[in-house]
Amino acid sequence: MSATLLVELLTEELPPKALKKLGEAFAQGIYTRLQKQGLCTEESFESFATPRRLAVALPHVLAQAPTQRVREKILPVSVAFDAQQQPSQALIKKLNALGCPDFPIDQLERVSDDKVDNKTNNKIENLFLTRDIPGLTLAQGLQIALQETITTLPIPKVMSYQLHPGTAQEQDVQFVRPAHQLIALHAEHIVPVSVLGLQAGRTTVGHRFLSTGALHIDHADHYADVLHDQGKVIASYAKRQHIILEQLTHAAGKDQVLMPHTLLDEVTALVEWPAIYTCHFDKNFLRIPQECLILTMQTNQKYFALTDAQGKLHNRFLVVSNIQTDTPQAIIEGNERVIKPRLADAQFFFEQDQKKTLSERIPQLASMTYHNKLGSQLLRCTRLVHIATHITTDIVQTSAAASHHHAHTMRFDLTQLPEQLRLTERAARLAKVDLLTQMVGEFPELQGVMGTYYARAEHEPEAIALACSEHYHPRFAGDTLPAQQVSADIGLASMSVALADKLETLIGIWSVGGAPSGEKDPYALRRHGLGIVRILAEKNCPLDIKTLLSYAAESFDASQCPTQGWDSIIQAAYRFLLDRMRSYLREQGGTTQEVEAVLAKFEQAEQPAYLDDLLKRLDAVRAFAQLPQAPALAAANKRISNLLKKTQTQTHTVDTALLEEPSELALYQALQDVRAPIEQALTQHNFTDALCQLASLRDVVDHFFSHVMVMTENKALRDNRIALLTELHTLMNHTADLSRLVV
């Protein structure tokens, strides 16, 4: 017989930030273990998690698992029997250990394997036992599943408590919170299991205030309905969150409700019967930066802020209460009363911070440790100045050089360099100063944001104000880049300091042994590395990564030079950035072969590493890979690459007088025909057109390899043909290494 199994563990209030994971792990743990035991016949279950309970309902659970026929190896025959072919003590002990001492010896199976006994040169024989093992009963299986699941739950902090203190049944228990009741029902029958000192029953409790007395669960299928109808508890975490989401959206009306996932998860874990109420705060508080007010509401009070369509904060906010009532005035007034001093604290911090300018605070950075091996934040800002000003200089100079071949989104002339350097240096010196303010001390999430507010209040140039916050960008996957919405002359400082910040972190932390290892990345170097790649690629920055890493290494004091030397650190960091480029290009839709074709250029030690055309190169390779001629050309390119690696010749130009075979003459002429269009396309950064021009070479390349002996004994002919293939190889690999496209 199969029926629904319900398991509920009733506790005191569980930690809200951990409830979602605890609920999922509790349900998944019991399901997985019962399925492994053969007690679950359906691959589904329903998880329940409320502030005071973890539960799971599993449909079609058997009262006893099916009998299993098991065949297992016992002992080698030479060990199982003595010289008289009687059962040895070893065999008797083994059968006893397996729980079948009376198993007929003559029913044991003898099987030869491929191994040979060194003494007798005969194949080794082994005894096998085949028997039927009764499946576990539900009580047996659930007891095991419960105990194992509870010991493996992702409990943030274990709590010790006593059951039945002061009595003969006193028991020390450890769990996330004291547990009070256990339900284990298979259909309408109680499954006799116990855990945490509790015996299974069929009673639970509902909402603390909206329900009275114990709730009797007569059948496992009725659990959620009884809790909902009689207990005023929405047991399903997912359903409860969906209801909260719908109610918040409805209450917001035309406004936008700010509901980050972390806040929504925590509020869902705090209520059993959600009700949404609208509250207000004094409009005078709106003079404070709205980020401060929003964080105060979200972090301290778990409130949902409202903005208009343009993102401007209202003085109206939403509260998710655990009590539904037709007269919510007391709840509303209570929440409005509680938020007032919180917002007053934010106002106080904001006003106090502005009594000292950012410039006046700069010396205090010397007392703030950045890293115990890398010095203070003041030293770090000095390094940022060095790196950022070099970046600004390079961008302005390369942009001003009309002959520079890299693409740009920023255009400057050399007369702008002094002013851009002044802005960049000032931005780098002020970038970290808001870490000293009271507001950032209260809300670390506002670092950078408050720097921008304070810089504007002090009438710093907008370029400097923006750099205070934007130098942290991108902060996460998909985040905006620095200087995303501003003109080039304003955004250059932001971009330069953003790159400097990430480069300094990468080189500095790497030099003191903080490189990522496995899943561990305590300094978020992967995020910093991806930020470097994104800025250079998406902002079309004409900067060589290897040069940037050198700027970062140069910024450190000689006494901070690592044992292995800066060159080794730079090489390791560059390889690390190659991996970030690899991940980035895959996110852009590139296949493994396409990505490796593009990155082959960057793996060459002598090659500079400009990323301003990285995405164009990937697009070109993807377009080329779709051509019907691509597989043959890629294979030919790989063949040429292997051939050139094995040959050495002093001949670098093709002598047309030595072109004897029609096929090599045809190839030479075809190269001359496509060279000009390809070079023209490359000049215009049209990599796709440049690669697609190669399609016309497919037939002549095939004919060449079918009819021309490259490695002929005639040295002059051989060298000339190698020179011809070298020209072809160079022309084919201008954008990427096409040989990498061969699967």
Q: What is the mean pLDDT of residues 85-91?
A: 87
Q: Can you say whether the dihedral through the CA atoms of 416, 419, 420, 421 is positive or negative?
A: positive
Cα–Cα distance measured from residue 557 to residue 562, given in angstroms and rounded to the nearest whole number: 11
Whole-Å CA distances, 601 to 244, 530, 578: 52, 19, 11
Cα–Cα distance measured from residue 431 to residue 411, given in angstroms and rounded to the nearest whole number: 25
* Residue 398, in any domain of the structure: yes
- Are residues 425 and 571 both part of a single domain? yes
Q: What is the mean pLDDT of residues 599-611?
A: 85
703, 666 contact by CB (below 8 A):
yes
> Using 50, 70 and 90 to split pLDDT, how confident is the model at 405?
very low
552, 507 contact by CB (below 8 A):
yes
- Are residues 419 and 459 both part of a single domain? yes
* Residue 592, in any domain of the structure: no
Q: What is the mean pLDDT of residues 64-89?
A: 85
Cα–Cα distance measured from residue 162 to residue 169, given in angstroms and rounded to the nearest whole number: 10
> Using 50, 70 and 90 to split pLDDT, how confident is the model at 651?
low
pLDDT at res. 401: 77
Residue tagged 């970062």 (tokens): 552
Cα–Cα distance measured from residue 689 to residue 670, given in angstroms and rounded to the nearest whole number: 17
Least Cα distance to 29 among 128, 179, 147 occurs for: 147
* Residue 602, in any domain of the structure: no
Q: Quick check: 402 pLDDT over 60?
A: no
Structure tokens at 295: 């964080």
308, 256 contact by CB (below 8 A):
yes
- CB within 8 A of 465, min separation 6: which ones? 451, 452, 455, 456
Least Cα distance to 128 among 87, 93, 77, 82 occurs for: 77
* Residue 676, in any domain of the structure: yes
- Are residues 375 and 507 both part of a single domain? yes
* Residue 498, in any domain of the structure: yes
59, 41 contact by CB (below 8 A):
no
Cα–Cα distance measured from residue 185 to residue 218, given in angstroms and rounded to the nearest whole number: 9
For residue 564, the one-letter residue type is: Q
Cα–Cα distance measured from residue 461 to residue 464, given in angstroms and rounded to the nearest whole number: 5
Cβ neighbours of 319 (radius 10 Å): 24
Structure tokens at 238: 């997912």
Whole-Å CA distances, 691 to 362, 506, 621: 53, 35, 7
Q: What is the CA radius of gyration of the chain?
A: 36
> Using 50, 70 and 90 to split pLDDT, how confident is the model at 562?
confident
Share of the chain above pLDDT 70, in %: 97
Q: Mean pLDDT in the chain? A: 92
- Are residues 129 and 150 both part of a single domain? no
- Are residues 302 and 348 both part of a single domain? yes
Overall domain count for the chain: 5
* Residue 605, in any domain of the structure: no
Q: Quick check: 404 pLDDT over 60?
A: no
- Are residues 245 and 389 both part of a single domain? no
Secondary structure in 3-state letters for 650-670: CCCCCCHHHCCCHHHHHHHHH
* Residue 594, in any domain of the structure: no
Domain boundary residue among 133, 150, 185?
Answer: 133
380, 374 contact by CB (below 8 A):
yes
State pLDDT tens for residues 504-520.
999 999 999 999 988 89
CATH of the domain at 706: 1.10.730.10
* Range of the structural domain that residue 103 is part of: 68-133
Q: Can you say whether the dihedral through the CA atoms of 681, 683, 684, 687 is positive or negative?
A: positive
Q: What is the mean pLDDT of residues 689-716?
A: 91
> Using 50, 70 and 90 to split pLDDT, how confident is the model at 608?
confident
689, 676 contact by CB (below 8 A):
no
* Residue 603, in any domain of the structure: no
- Are residues 286 and 192 both part of a single domain? no
Q: How far is CA 227 from the centre of its chain?
A: 38
Cβ neighbours of 16 (radius 10 Å): 16
- Are residues 642 and 681 both part of a single domain? yes
- Are residues 345 and 204 both part of a single domain? no
pLDDT at res. 245: 97
**What stretch of H or E contains 630?**
helix 630-646
For residue 278, the one-letter residue type is: T
Identify the residue with better confidence: 113 or 533.
533
Domain boundary residue among 337, 353, 369?
Answer: 353
For residue 382, the one-letter residue type is: T
- CB within 8 A of 576, min separation 6: which ones? 506, 510, 515, 516, 525, 529
pLDDT at res. 72: 84
- Are residues 178 and 259 both part of a single domain? no
Q: What is the mean pLDDT of residues 1-18?
A: 95
- Are residues 57 and 86 both part of a single domain? no
Cα–Cα distance measured from residue 514 to residue 187, given in angstroms and rounded to the nearest whole number: 55
CA torsion 494-497-503-509 (nearest 10°) is -120
421: left (phi over 0), alpha (psi -120 to 50) or beta: alpha
Please name every residue paired with 11 in a beta bridge, in sequence order, or none if there are none.
Answer: 179
State pLDDT tens for residues 406-430.
555 567 889 999 999 999 999 999 9
> Using 50, 70 and 90 to split pLDDT, how confident is the model at 536?
very high
Least Cα distance to 189 among 204, 202, 170, 175 occurs for: 202
- Are residues 453 and 367 both part of a single domain? yes
Half-sphere exposure of 124 (CA within 13 A, CB side): 13
pLDDT at res. 41: 83
Domain boundary residue among 195, 229, 263?
Answer: 229
For residue 212, the one-letter residue type is: T
Cα–Cα distance measured from residue 713 to residue 134, given in angstroms and rounded to the nearest whole number: 79
Residue tagged 């065949």 (tokens): 71
